[in-house]
């Protein structure tokens, strides 16, 4: 069913029509969470493999969908319970249908970066130059944030629209002077000395943050399943701290793709921070008390409004449900 929907719908504008005509179906004891291939989602697979979700009576399905507009369309139709994605990414879809973040997964802490030539010493030196970056993506959101921090804006550069993988390839081939991409491309450039990483996301903690966002109907009809999801994730993060080598092997088997090799996944995991309970509480807050997500959502609204050319005014309450962050 999910594949059939994705074959038909690949554009964000189609989501409104789908959400208006198809009711969200909630099946007690099961959550289906769409996601791309990313190391930060490894704890979902770890909790699944170690039986932590099952302990709470929960079955979690984890279909890989490598395009945000597609998994959000499936979520809007009710063919997915929710998605794992960054706050800035899902915020753009919140005006079209109801969903909220119930769990924090990770933030990029060195896993994303800006590649430049060896002689470039600052972002200001990119003014007027071409930068390969995926338009409308988290990479562009992060680049916009970096430019603002350095007194610049997207209009100061020439955007070459490419996926993160293609951007890295174009940079290494010398077709663009700068690129925004992620691991394993950053390590590849460092190891081969084919340029350098000017800045990475370790300097911007808490800006590129992944969460699990579930449809509002699912949250209201399946609160015990949401509790089991959060509890399982906390146990998985603790297991990763206690047994990292074993955890990375299990994650690699689940995440697959370019991270199917445990060594590759372990290397990529050095560029993220998996969120435990304390970090989740700091980010998402508690009922009546917003956390660090509030200023991040404000930033995401401002950036999306500028980049998309239309106003976004999604509130923290619109996007965050923190009732499940702290176990009772």
185: helix, coil or strand? helix
Q: Per the structure, how many domains does the chain have?
A: 2
Determine how many CB atoms are found less than 10 A away from the CB of residue 36: 19
Which of 155, 179, 203 represents a domain boundary (last residue)? 203
Flag whether 11 is in a domain.
Answer: no
Q: How large is the C-alpha radius of gyration of the chain? A: 19
- C-alpha distances in angstroms, 84 versus 3, 22, 81, 114, 137? 18, 21, 11, 24, 15
Q: Summarize the confidence of residues 245-267 as an average pLDDT.
A: 96
Same structural domain, 213 and 180: no
Please state, for a pLDDT cut of 70, what percent of the chain lies above it.
92
Q: Which two tokens stand for residue 75?
A: 């979520």
Please, what sign has the CA dihedral across residues 9, 86, 180, 44? negative
pLDDT exceeds cutoff 70 at 10 = no
Flag whether 226 is in a domain.
Answer: yes
pLDDT of residue 28: 84
Lowest mean pLDDT among 4-13, 83-92, 199-208, 318-327: 4-13
- C-alpha distances in angstroms, 216 versus 91, 172, 222, 259? 14, 44, 10, 32
Flag whether 10 is in a domain.
Answer: no
Which of 141, 170, 203 represents a domain boundary (last residue)? 203
pLDDT of residue 207: 97
pLDDT of residue 327: 76
Kind and range of the H or E element at 231? Answer: helix 223-242
- Estimate the share of the chain in helix, then strand, then coil, as percent rounded to the nearest 5: 50, 20, 30
Same structural domain, 157 and 265: no
What secondary structure does DSSP assign to 122-177, as a single string? SGGGGTTSEEEE-TTSHHHHHHHHHHHHTT--GGGSEEEE--HHHHHHHHHTTSSS
Q: Summarize the confidence of residues 31-57 as an average pLDDT.
A: 97
Give which of 249, 274, 88, 258 is closest to 187, Cα–Cα.
258
Same structural domain, 312 and 242: yes
Same structural domain, 40 and 59: yes
pLDDT exceeds cutoff 80 at 176 = yes
Residue range 83-116, pLDDT digits in tens: 999 999 999 999 999 999 999 999 999 999 999 9
Asked if residues 144 and 303 have their Cβ atoms less than 8 Å apart, the reply is yes
pLDDT exceeds cutoff 80 at 21 = no
Same structural domain, 87 and 231: yes
Same structural domain, 91 and 237: yes
Place of tokens 């070459």: 160
Flag whether 326 is in a domain.
Answer: no
Same structural domain, 218 and 71: yes
CB within 8 Å of 200: residues ≥ 6 apart: 110, 111, 112, 113, 114, 186, 271
- The values of phi and psi at residue 125, to 5°, are -70, -10
Same structural domain, 178 and 227: no
Same structural domain, 233 and 129: no
Lowest mean pLDDT among 15-19, 72-76, 97-101: 15-19
CATH code assigned at 214: 3.40.190.10
Residue range 185-227, pLDDT digits in tens: 999 999 999 999 999 999 999 999 999 999 999 999 999 999 9
What is d(CA 254, CA 5) in angstroms, rounded to the nearest whole number? 24
Same structural domain, 116 and 181: yes
Give which of 132, 117, 205 is closest to 164, Cα–Cα.
132
Same structural domain, 163 and 39: no
pLDDT of residue 11: 43
pLDDT of residue 315: 98
User: Which domain does 294 fall in, by range?
Assistant: 30-107+207-319
Q: Which of 151 and 21 is assigned the larger pLDDT?
A: 151
Flag whether 25 is in a domain.
Answer: no
Which of 203, 237, 257 represents a domain boundary (last residue)? 203
Polymer length of the chain: 328
Order the strands of the 99-108 sheet from edge to edge.
59-61, 30-34, 82-86, 209-215, 99-108, 272-274
Same structural domain, 310 and 217: yes
Calculate the dihedral angle through the C-alpha atoms of 107, 236, 255, 274, rounding to the nearest 10 degrees. 10
Flag whether 14 is in a domain.
Answer: no
99: helix, coil or strand? strand
Q: Which two tokens stand for residue 305?
A: 């409004």
Q: Summarize the confidence of residues 272-296 as an average pLDDT.
A: 97
pLDDT of residue 23: 42
Q: Summarize the confidence of residues 291-311 as an average pLDDT.
A: 96
pLDDT exceeds cutoff 60 at 8 = no
Flag whether 213 is in a domain.
Answer: yes
Place of tokens 């081939």: 173
pLDDT of residue 26: 60
How does residue 170 score in pLDDT terms, banded at 50, 70 and 90?
Answer: very high
Flag whether 141 is in a domain.
Answer: yes
């Amino acid at each position: 069913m999910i594949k059939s929907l994705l074959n038909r719908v690949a554009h964000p504008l189609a989501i409104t029509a789908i959400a208006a005509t198809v009711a969200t179906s909630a099946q007690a004891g099961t959550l289906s969470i769409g996601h791309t291939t990313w190391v930060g989602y490894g704890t979902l697979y770890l909790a699944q493999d170690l039986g932590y979700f099952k302990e709470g009576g929960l079955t979690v399905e984890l279909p890989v969908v490598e395009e945000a507009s597609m998994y959000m369309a499936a979520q809007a139709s009710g063919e997915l319970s929710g998605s794992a994605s960054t706050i800035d990414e899902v915020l753009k879809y919140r005006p079209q249908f109801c969903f909220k973040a119930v769990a924090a997964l990770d933030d990029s802490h060195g896993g994303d970066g800006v590649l430049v030539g060896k002689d470039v010493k600052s972002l200001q030196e990119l003014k007027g130059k071409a930068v390969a970056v995926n338009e409308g993506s988290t990479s562009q959101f992060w680049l916009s944030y970096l430019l603002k921090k350095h007194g610049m804006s997207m209009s100061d550069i020439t955007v070459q629209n490419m996926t993160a993988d293609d951007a890295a390839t174009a940079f290494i081939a010398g077709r663009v002077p700068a690129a925004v991409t992620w691991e394993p491309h950053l390590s590849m450039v460092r190891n081969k000395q084919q340029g350098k990483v000017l800045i990475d996301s370790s300097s911007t903690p808490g800006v590129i943050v992944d969460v699990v966002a579930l449809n509002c109907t699912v949250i209201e009809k399946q609160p015990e399943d949401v509790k089991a999801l959060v509890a399982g994730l906390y146990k998985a993060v603790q297991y990763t701290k206690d047994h990292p080598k074993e955890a990375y092997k299990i994650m690699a088997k689940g995440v697959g793709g370019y991270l199917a090799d445990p060594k590759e996944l372990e290397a990529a995991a050095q560029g993220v921070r998996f969120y435990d309970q304390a970090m989740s509480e700091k980010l998402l807050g508690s009922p009546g008390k917003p956390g660090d997500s509030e200023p991040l959502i404000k930033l995401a609204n401002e950036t999306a409004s500028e980049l998309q050319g239309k106003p976004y005014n999604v509130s923290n309450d619109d996007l965050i449900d923190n009732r499940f962050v702290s176990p009772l």
